[in-house]
Amino acid sequence: MFFGGNMRHFWLEILVCTMMLAACGDDDSGFATQPDVEGSSSSVAPMSSDSVEKNDGSVYNVDKNTLTDLRDGQIYKTVKIGTQTWMAQNLNYAYTGVPYNYFGFTSDSTSWCYNNDVANCIKYGRLYTWAAAMDSVGSWSTNGRGCGYKKKCWPIYPVRGICPEGWHLPDTTEWRTLFTAVGDSSTAGKILKSSSGWNDSGNGTDAYSFSALPAGINCAGGSCFSDEGNVALFWSSAEFDRDNAYCIALSYNYDFAGLINHNRFLGFSVRCVKD
């Protein structure tokens, strides 16, 4: 396990997981809040675009936009890369008021601000358990119902999960499609990482305005946070087994984007992709 531990050991584990697709679990039994606005939805602002020069000299247009989450009024930058439209910021919808209990680690929520500091939610978005990311009790859709900790589930894709209406939690194929659109997984980390905020000169180029920030993780309810500045981990909607789910890992000291499996009870970031 990497939290609070040796980062070199963790990223050796990620290299092994990436190459072998080895298992690496979530939390949570029942959880969920009800939508703040009945019939929660989202709205999208008019689109603009920037041009990116690719390695072969060709020019690629990256369309930019904004998304308003009508559940709480928060506005997010979005970006169209290839055939997909992604949130260009981490989700910050507050999944609170739902108890978390994992082997004695307790909290009143299944999502957190890093170090329980509201300023970090504004900067990084919130960190969610996989059950929270999947909306396992079906507050907004039934496609991820029952996907809690140590519960084998059969999600129906696409899984809206905790995302605003019209958006969903990406599956592993959609993450791979993104990596291909920006080159390939060996360099996608460098390209998708933000151009500032990463430790030890680990910043990315952010060439496509995806702006992945090193939000770190929550490792035990509200009592343990780790690796701010070092890593960004994003949940997918695909489970690996009853303890583990697939996630995407970016590191300050690697250029690749790793598709790995990890513990469902951990708190990772969420990016949504448009339906």
pLDDT one-digit tens code per residue, 148-165: 877 888 899 999 999 999
Q: What is the pLDDT of residue 57?
A: 53
Least confident of 13-22, 64-73, 106-115, 135-144: 13-22
In a domain, 46, yes or no: no
In a domain, 191, yes or no: yes
Strands 59-69 and 48-53: antiparallel
In a domain, 29, yes or no: yes
pLDDT one-digit tens code per residue, 118-153: 999 999 999 999 999 999 888 889 999 999 877 888
**pLDDT higher for 136 or 221?**
136
- Residue 215 burial (CB count, 10 A): 28
**pLDDT higher for 133 or 63?**
133
Q: What total number of domains does the chain contain?
A: 1
In a domain, 146, yes or no: yes
Angle separating helix axes 185-192 and 172-181, nearest 10 degrees: 80
In a domain, 41, yes or no: no
Domain membership of residue 245 as a residue range = 7-35+97-274
Q: What is the dihedral of CA 105, 107, 112, 118, to 10 degrees?
A: -120
Q: Look at the block and give the residue holding tokens 């396992």.
A: 136
State yes or no: pLDDT of 62 exceeds 90. Answer: no
In a domain, 243, yes or no: yes
SS3 123: helix
| 66/172 Cα distance (integer angstroms) | 24
pLDDT band at 39 (very low <50, low <70, confident <90, very high): very low
Q: Which amino acid is at 219?
A: C
In a domain, 222, yes or no: yes
| 245/257 Cα distance (integer angstroms) | 16
In a domain, 87, yes or no: no
Using CB atoms within 10 Å of the CB of residue 42, give its burial: 0 to 12 exposed, 13 to 18 middle, 19+ buried.
middle
- In the chain, alpha helices (H): 7-20, 118-124, 130-134, 172-181, 185-192
